[in-house]
């Protein structure tokens, strides 16, 4: 939508009243994204920096590329924009704000500006909180078909980072070396020795 | 005056092109009949439509499915495991194909409307029934006795297996007769360990065997062996699993006697009260919504259990006011599905230096052991397990703690061996589980829809509980750790083994179809899909549908040749 078209719609009271807040917010987000020439539609530049940094702490570049190179942040932005519910999106964005608050309280600056060691400490704190909340939910739910992001922030972040990374071309082809067509079945064979990447 | 050209009369009209429609098309064209197949959905071109090799990297939502879109268009279909981001296009839009239920009794009607029907997405498990199944109703005084026994259908199991190609291992068990098998697929390390532990503990009472599946483990009838890419339900460009698109329809096509008409939504059948025959089919064109008619000498209903019954209910006449061929009053009654959702999983320690190579599109199977030689106090009949043991993949990291380089490195390697058993239990025929026409609603083509009344009863619930307990016990016997029993609510329909509602039987007063799947009331009308079933067994039903269809086609053509039809 052209900016002036969006503004025209916003100016017309009758149209404005039928626009859901969701649609309105999406329109604004699209506008902002278009203005910046960025592909991101939900994450702001500042939020995106946190996502990029945090996903890289979780899946860093080692002998293979990490979450940043795999553009996990773009996948997360897509899921937040087109897949998640408003409630799930809110939890995620609030979680990013919390990451900043936690880092500020401990180190006096935001998460994206923190050192690698500081970022790891914050992620460690989130991870421990999640482990505790999971233990409270025992017994573990098995085989629930309905995929949901109505979860604590870090559980969302963990799922989306892992899915985003391992289903990316880097994750599938370089990290996991997935073969689409194995061509044979062997039920029980020695694992191949690990190859240097 | 406008002249109307007399429409062509086909030797046979087959309604539906899925599992049974494909078989009927093959059998009837091979026997010399000119056949019209009416398919409600679109044509399928394997080169264009199959997506089994599309990598997850190319999927927009990376396997998480288009949640908002499917919530809107496929709120029921999306609950099926196979309706994934790749294959959701093979499932109907619920918005176009409504049906109703009682508010507190959901029924998940999972449907595929396209050439090939659900045979494109089916799970390919292929098991023979035994007389333990065929004699169950009469032995217990439940429902109506089957008009056939294993000896009647055995040659037809042989016949369809020889064409389709079924991989499996002979076990010599009376409750699960062996078939004409292609070589079995290999079990994984942990499955072999569980199988051996079960054999030590249970002997021949509980046997674990490799799944019997309509997948080629070697070249067969001009179709290539499986290449173990894994997701068969998205199609198979090498035609290595059985579907009507991959196997039966091409054979029918080759005879030159097949006309396949997609986008043909059947409204109802046309009955001539003078000749007591069905003379044709009323069709709504799926694209133009124009009404039209087709004439045929015999009609085979192969539209799927509930759709075939819906067509008969919508074909009521003054004489058959409650539905065509329903002098018995049994049409629509005794809807069944297999109850699933009970089982257990656990970790099998060891074998961490070993892997499975290739994605096996098949599991392991534990044939029914309840009420076989034993007599259970809490329930009638029994259940069988399907399962598998695989090493866990990167997905396990979602539920673990940890992050960083060491975490990433650990997820690069496969995790421990996880064994899962899930039970499939027999559902008793019960006239209170039934379907009728909902006079208030029509589908996108103006055809009145079904109202489905169905719920699990006490016997099915007792099976579900027992399948959870026994699965956990079997895992414990095999030395599994972290055993998690489960007992999920799964609505009827979701197992996609829906059957019954136009049962076979010897007595026209208590059944809709005779022992040849021929309507008692209308002799040139046959129905060979799941609607014909008088009981449900606990084994996957498709192989039996195939055998019954081939058998009915043989009978129909022999009757035509004798001038009886």
CA of A175: which chain B residue's CA is closest? Answer: B412
Q: Given pLDDT bands bounded at 50, 70 and 90, which one contains residue A15? A: very low
If you count residue pairs, one on A and one on B, with CB atoms under 8 Å apart, how many are there?
152
| Contact between B390 and B318 (Cβ < 8 Å) | no
Distances in Å between the alpha carbon of B195 and those of B70, B170, B180? 40, 15, 23
Closest CA to B49 of B142, B106, B110, B120: B120
Domains defined for chain B, CATH in brackets: 9-52+75-124+232-335+498-561 (3.50.50.60), 177-210+339-425+456-491 (3.30.410)
Q: Which pair of structure tokens corresponds to residue A155?
A: 């559980």
pLDDT higher than 90, residue A23: no
The pLDDT of residue A38: 57
The label of the residue with tokens 């795999």 reads A70
Q: With contacts defined as CB-CB under 8 Å, which chain B residues touch A57?
A: 403-404
C-alpha span between B196 and B201 (Å, rounded)? 9
Share of chain B above pLDDT 70, in %: 99
Whole-angstrom Cα distance, residue A68 to residue B264? Answer: 51
Q: Do A147 and B360 touch (CB under 8 A)?
A: no
- Report CB contact under 8 Å: A59, B191: no
Residue A134 has pLDDT above 80, yes or no: yes
- Contact at 8 Å (CB) between A59 and A66? yes
The pLDDT value recorded for residue A75 is 98
* Ordered strands of the B364-366 beta sheet: B209-210, B364-366, B383-391, B417-425, B339-348, B481-487
Interface of A with B in 93-112 (CB under 8 A): none
Q: Is A195 on the interface with B (CB under 8 A)?
A: no
For an interface test with B, give the residue of A55, A56, A185 to mutate (most B CBs within 10 A): A185
- Distance spanning both ends of chain B, measured CA to CA: 36
pLDDT at residue A35, as a whole number:
47
d(CA B451, CA B435): 6
pLDDT value at position A193? 67
Cα B232-B234-B238 angle, rounded to 5 deg? 60
Q: What residue in A sits closest to B78 (Cα-Cα)?
A: A146
Of A58, A166, A189, the CB nearest to B403: A58
Average pLDDT, chain A: 83
Share of chain B above pLDDT 90, in %: 98
Chain-chain contact of B67 with A140 (C-beta, under 8 angstroms): no
> Could you give the angle at the alpha carbon of B125 between the alpha carbons of B435 and B357, nearest 5°?
145
Q: What is the pLDDT of residue B201?
A: 98
| Whether residue A140 has pLDDT greater than 70 | no
pTM of the predicted structure, to 2 decimals: 0.93
Read off φ and ψ for residue B390, nearest 5 degrees: -135, 160
pLDDT score of A6? 37
Q: Say yes or no for a CB contact (<8 Å) between A176 and B394.
A: yes
Tell whether the model's pLDDT for residue A19 goes beyond 50.
no
Phi, psi of A112 (to 5 degrees): -65, -30
Cα distance between residue B455 and residue B224, in whole Å: 42
Tokens 């009838």 correspond to B221
CA distance B226 to chain A (A): 8
Read off the pLDDT of residues A24-37 as tens digits, 9 standing for 90 and up: 444 444 444 444 44
- Chosen for mutation from A59, A81, A151, A188 (greatest number of chain B CBs closer than 10 Å) is A188
Residue B6 confidence (pLDDT) above 90: no
Cα separation, B73 vs B451, whole angstroms: 20
Nearest to B357 among A59, A162, A189 (CB): A189
Q: Residues A47-76: what's their mean pLDDT?
A: 98
pLDDT digits (tens, 9 = 90+) for B391-450: 999 999 999 999 999 999 999 999 999 999 999 999 999 999 999 999 999 999 999 999
| pLDDT tens digits along B197-238 | 999 999 999 999 999 999 999 999 999 999 999 999 999 999
User: Which residues of chain A does B345 touch, with a Cβ-Cβ cutoff of 8 Å?
Assistant: 142-143
Name the residue facing B81 among A145, A175, A188 (closest C-beta).
A145
Strands, DSSP E only, in B83-232? 100-101, 166-167, 181-182, 209-210
- The residues near B3 (Cβ < 8 Å, ≥ 6 apart) are none
- Across chain B, mean pLDDT equals 97
User: Are A185 and B353 within 8 A, CB to CB?
Assistant: no
Are the Cβ atoms of B357 and A175 closer than 8 angstroms?
A: no
Complex ipTM > 0.90: yes
Task: Let me know: does B218 contact B226? Beta carbons within 8 Å.
Answer: no
pLDDT at B534 over 50: yes
Question: pLDDT value at position B4?
Answer: 55
**Mean pLDDT, rounded, for B27-44:** 98
């Amino acid at each position: 939508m052209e900016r002036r078209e969006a503004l025209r719609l916003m100016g017309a009271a009758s149209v404005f009243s039928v626009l859901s807040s969701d649609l309105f917010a999406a329109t604004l987000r699209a506008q902002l994204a278009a203005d910046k020439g960025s592909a991101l539609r939900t994450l702001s530049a500042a939020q995106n920096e946190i996502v990029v940094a945090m996903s890289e702490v979780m899946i860093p570049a080692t002998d293979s590329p990490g979450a940043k190179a795999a553009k996990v942040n773009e996948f997360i932005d897509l899921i937040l924009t087109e897949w998640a519910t408003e409630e799930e999106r809110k939890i995620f964005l609030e979680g990013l704000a919390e990451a900043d608050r936690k880092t500020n309280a401990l180190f006096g600056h935001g998460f994206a500006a923190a050192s690698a060691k500081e970022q790891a400490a914050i992620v460690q704190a989130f991870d421990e909180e999640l482990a505790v909340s999971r233990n409270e939910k025992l017994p573990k739910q098995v085989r629930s078909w309905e995929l949901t992001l109505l979860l604590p922030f870090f559980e969302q972040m963990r799922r989306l980072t892992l899915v985003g990374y391992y289903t990316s071309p880097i994750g599938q082809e370089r990290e996991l070396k997935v073969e689409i067509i194995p061509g044979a079945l062997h039920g029980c064979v020695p694992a191949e020795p690990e190859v240097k990447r | 005056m406008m002249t109307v050209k007399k429409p062509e009369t086909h030797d046979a009209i087959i309604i539906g092109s899925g599992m049974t429609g494909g078989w009927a098309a093959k059998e009837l064209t091979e026997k010399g009949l000119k056949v019209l197949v009416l398919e409600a959905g679109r044509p399928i071109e394997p080169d264009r439509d199959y997506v089994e090799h599309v990598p997850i990297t190319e999927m927009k939502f990376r396997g998480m499915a288009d949640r908002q879109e499917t919530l809107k268009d496929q709120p029921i279909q999306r609950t099926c495991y196979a309706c994934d981001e790749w294959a959701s296009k093979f499932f109907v839009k619920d918005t176009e194909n409504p049906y109703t239920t009682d508010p507190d009794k959901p029924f998940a009607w999972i449907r595929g409307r396209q050439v090939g029907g659900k045979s494109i997405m089916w799970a390919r498990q292929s098991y023979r029934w035994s007389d333990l199944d065929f004699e169950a109703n009469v032995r217990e005084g439940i429902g109506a006795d089957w008009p056939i026994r294993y000896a009647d259908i055995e040659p037809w199991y042989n016949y369809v297996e020889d064409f389709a190609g079924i991989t499996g291992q002979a076990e010599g068990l009376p409750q699960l007769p062996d078939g004409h098998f292609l070589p079995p697929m290999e079990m994984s390390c942990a499955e072999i360990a569980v199988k051996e532990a079960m054999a030590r503990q249970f002997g021949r009472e509980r046997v674990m065997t490799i799944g019997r599946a309509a997948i080629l483990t070697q070249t067969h009838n001009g179709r290539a062996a499986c290449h173990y890419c894994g997701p068969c339900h998205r199609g198979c460009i090498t035609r290595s699993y059985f579907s009507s698109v991959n196997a039966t329809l091409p054979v029918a096509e080759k005879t030159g006697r097949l006309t396949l008409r997609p986008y043909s939504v059947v409204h109802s059948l046309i009955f001539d009260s003078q000749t007591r025959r069905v003379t044709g089919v009323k069709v709504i064109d799926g694209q133009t919504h124009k009404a039209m008619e087709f004439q045929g000498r015999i009609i085979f209903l192969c539209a799927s259990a509930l759709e075939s019954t819906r067509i008969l209910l919508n074909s009521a006449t003054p004489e058959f006011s409650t539905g065509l061929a329903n002098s018995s009053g049994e049409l629509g009654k005794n809807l069944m599905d297999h109850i699933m959702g009970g089982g257990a999983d656990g970790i099998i320690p060891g074998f961490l230096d070993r892997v499975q190579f290739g994605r096996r599109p098949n599991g392991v199977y534990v044939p029914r052991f309840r009420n076989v030689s034993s007599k259970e106090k809490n329930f009638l009949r029994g259940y069988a397990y399907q399962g598998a043991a695989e090493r866990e993949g990167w997905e396990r990291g979602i539920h673990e703690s940890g992050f960083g380089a060491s975490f990433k490195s650990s997820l690069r390697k496969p995790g421990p061996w996880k064994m899962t058993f899930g039970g499939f239990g027999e559902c008793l025929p019960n006239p209170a589980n039934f379907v009728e026409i909902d006079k208030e609603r029509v589908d996108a083509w103006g055809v009145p829809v079904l109202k489905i009344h169905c719920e699990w009863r006490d016997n099915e619930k007792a099976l579900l509980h027992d399948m959870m307990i026994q699965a956990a016990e079997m895992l414990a016997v095999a030395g599994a750790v972290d055993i998690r029993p489960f007992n999920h609510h799964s609505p009827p329909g979701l197992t996609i083994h829906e059957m019954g509602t136009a049962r076979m039987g010897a007595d026209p007063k208590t059944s809709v179809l005779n022992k040849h799947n021929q309507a008692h009331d209308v002799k040139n009308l046959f129905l060979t899909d799941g609607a014909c079933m008088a009981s449900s067994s606990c084994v996957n039903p498709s192989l039996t549908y195939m055998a019954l269809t081939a058998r009915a086609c043989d009978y129909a053509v022999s009757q035509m040749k004798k001038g009886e039809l």
